[in-house]
Amino acid sequence: MNAFPELRITRETLVARGAFAESQAAYLHPDEASVQRLDALLRARNLGVVAHYYMDPELQGVLSSCTWPHIHISDSLVMADRALRMAQAGVAAVAVAGVDFMSENVRAVLDAGGFADVAVYRLAASHIGCSLAEAAERPAYEAFLDRAARTPQSLHVVYINTSLLTKAAAHAKVPTVTCTSSNVVQTLVAAATAMPSAHVWYGPDTYMGENLRVILDALAEMDADTFLRRFPDADRAAVLGLRGRFHPFQQGNCIVHHLFGRAVVAQVERDYADCLLAAHLEVPGEMFALAATAERHGRGVVGSTSNILDFLVARTRAAIDGGIANVRCVLGTEAGMITSIVRAIQGLLRQTHSDVAVDIVFPVAAEAVARTDDAALPVVPGVAGGEGCSTAGGCATCPYMKMNSLDALFAVAQLAGASDPSRLRSYTVRVAGGPGSGAQLARLGAVPILHMREFQRTGKLPQALLDDVATRNLDPTAGAVVA
């Protein structure tokens, strides 16, 4: 089997091995004319931009080189918060480089923050989907929620990677709070502590749900002192009791993380055993188990995109301090993260004048690149039309995310200054208004997001959510109803 592609990061250079790594690295030195043009256009339109780590690498490369202060690249949890800060700083509108549930989250948070007048734009006129979000829009998820609604003391923890409609429909049936891969474990611990007899229903990501089962088992095996240091405000007995009342959905996954399966794990174990391993919480069980083992031995991390980035920066800093020449890590998540990884690591290496080299290994197959007609850039990350990913390694790039291109952002920014606002209608995210039940649906869908934001702020589940669980336990028909 061929070696996985790698990208070596040093203080001033990038050295790629393999076509996939070459295609990623090509965009990390963006065209200066494009950078200047976008910078000037965003300033002229007073347009903020929030983008996800998994974004198109060409767009990320240009965005991360701009000087306009209202640009932010992060995971989905932070995107909406940064959009709110941009609105508070006076931007006229925010463009969201992500899938539609991210645009909806931004719209809901701005509305809740009193900025309904700040427009939110997606970067495609048509729907930007997500295989995971769509799993929660199928009859199987409705049946899953119906089971939860019939079970006393039920709380629904829904992954933020779902549509506002899903959040609204779920909350109408079962008290619901959103979560991210960064805070889901803390959410489960807080729920068990606040409601020791509660049933927790998690979805729609099946891999993450099963991985959370493993984490709950690990907490049961953790000694009391270690548990207390990690969760000082938690009821350990209640958390351990949650294992029997935790119900993950069984029919949903992300098409990218689905590809980090048995074949990839076998090659990582065989050929990359000496590497660090960073894996997203959404990966299948085999990769999760391998990364969790690495984490227990201080050689890996399992978590969110932010956790992965923090881990790589920390290990680079440790290498600098310890006189270690090389850090090598397998990246078990969407390859779009490489832009933020390179920027963070090179920034640290330059700050410390270090000669440490950091190698990022992409566990992808040869099918992970698409051929182009461009002589200067003959291959690009991902496969044509989002098809043809190989289970031997996968494409490790999300075709939905890649609908957010540099050209698309230029087009939306140009339209933002047009005298005819109707030309922006198909790009404008409208989830907080509209006639009839539309406004009610949007308000209801925002409630689980606001519950999560309060949890992030206080470290405790909101009392309103706990009261909702108690009330519906007494009368299941007492919940919110979407008209």
Looking at the fold, whether 314 and 366 belong to one and the same domain comes out as yes
Looking at the fold, whether 169 and 229 belong to one and the same domain comes out as yes
What count of other Cβ atoms lies within 10 Å of the Cβ of residue 217?
Answer: 12
Looking at the fold, whether 65 and 164 belong to one and the same domain comes out as no
Whether 481 maps to a domain, the answer reads no
Looking at the fold, whether 198 and 113 belong to one and the same domain comes out as no
Whether 308 maps to a domain, the answer reads yes
- The pLDDT value recorded for residue 427 is 81
- The pLDDT value recorded for residue 367 is 42
Whether 483 maps to a domain, the answer reads no
Looking at the fold, whether 265 and 351 belong to one and the same domain comes out as yes
Q: What is the CATH number of the domain that holds 85?
A: 3.40.50.10800
Q: Give the bridge partners for 248, in sequence order.
A: 202
Looking at the fold, whether 392 and 267 belong to one and the same domain comes out as yes
Domain total of the chain: 3
- Residue pLDDT tens, the chain, 483 long: 468 889 999 999 999 888 777 877 777 788 899 999 999 999 999 999 999 877 777 788 899 899 999 999 887 778 888 999 999 999 999 999 888 888 888 888 898 889 999 999 988 776 666 666 677 777 898 999 999 999 999 999 998 878 888 888 899 999 999 988 778 889 999 999 999 999 999 988 877 787 788 888 878 878 888 888 888 999 999 999 998 999 998 866 554 444 555 667 788 888 999 999 998 766 655 677 788 888 888 999 988 878 899 999 999 999 999 999 999 999 887 666 788 899 899 999 999 999 999 999 987 644 443 444 444 333 333 333 322 233 223 334 555 566 667 888 999 999 987 767 777 888 888 764 433 344 566 678 889 988 998 998 999 999 999 999 998 765 555 444 332
Looking at the fold, whether 272 and 362 belong to one and the same domain comes out as yes
Peptide bond into 421 cis (omega under 30): no
Whether 479 maps to a domain, the answer reads no
Looking at the fold, whether 390 and 409 belong to one and the same domain comes out as no
Looking at the fold, whether 235 and 303 belong to one and the same domain comes out as no
Looking at the fold, whether 286 and 323 belong to one and the same domain comes out as yes
Whether 482 maps to a domain, the answer reads no
Looking at the fold, whether 39 and 164 belong to one and the same domain comes out as no
Looking at the fold, whether 458 and 382 belong to one and the same domain comes out as no
Whether 19 maps to a domain, the answer reads yes
- The pLDDT value recorded for residue 86 is 97
Domain span at 418: 32-128+405-427
Whether 478 maps to a domain, the answer reads no
